[in-house]
Amino acid sequence: MGQEQEIIDLLRRRDNAGADALLAHYGPLMRYVIAPILPDPQDQEECLSAAVLRVWDKIDLFDPRLGGWKSWLTAVCRNAALNHRRRSAGDGTEPLSDDLPAPEPTPEEQLLRQERFEELTRALRRLSQRDQVLFYRKYYYLQSTAQIAAETGTTERAVEGRLYRLRKRLRQALGGDGDE
């Protein structure tokens, strides 16, 4: 915690040593989040630089009361990687916001999003810790089934089976019929 706070303070003071420390200490974690979304090593390095820059720019938006440092950092990296992928693909969709939470939605949008978010959060909380981790690995960090299988010490087939059951349970929890 001490080193983490030290890096955050350096970044908030706009001290260049903060960016160096961020890369030295959290570089592997940032690479780990970016790699499944951007398989090309060159894209990964470009995205890593962009992510460090965004952390530098948006550090004042980090509020420890809303979530942990590593959660915020991985969210910035994930969104940076997704935006990089969209730009590279040239699909013309609007890039994801780096502001967490997203800035200034209309009150109606905010209410609707909040309701849907709470509904999904409730459904996720009813899952076991193991299934929650699997869900975030697959749908948030966008890891491949092969990567999840290797890192959790199981087979791809077993991961696929667990994801199938997980989707079914979530669909039921969100008011669906549970069929694929």
Sites of contact with another protein (CB under 8 A):
4, 24-33, 35, 66-68, 70-72, 74-75, 78-79, 82, 96-97, 100-102, 113, 116-117, 120, 129, 132-133, 136-137, 139-141, 146-147, 149-156, 158, 167, 170-171, 176, 180
Selection from 113, 130, 21 nearest residue 73 by Cα = 21
Contact 110, 84 (CB under 8 A): no
Q: Which is nearer to another protein, 32 or 56 (CB)?
A: 32
Q: Min. distance of Cβ 88 from another protein in angstroms?
A: 17
Report the residue number, 46 or 132, with the smaller CB distance to another protein.
132
Terminal Cα distance for the chain, rounded: 44
At closest approach, how far in Å is the CB of 37 from another protein? 12
The three-state (H, E, C) secondary structure of 75-144, written as one string: HHHHHHHHHHHHHHHCCCCCCCCCCCCCCCCCHHHHHHHHHHHHHHHHHHHCCCHHHHHHHHHHHHCCCC
Rounded distance, CA 29 to CA 63, Å? Answer: 20
Q: How far is the CB of 149 from another protein (least distance, A)?
A: 6
Nearer to another protein (CB atom), residue 14 or residue 113 = 113
Name the minimum Å distance from CB 134 to another protein.
Answer: 10
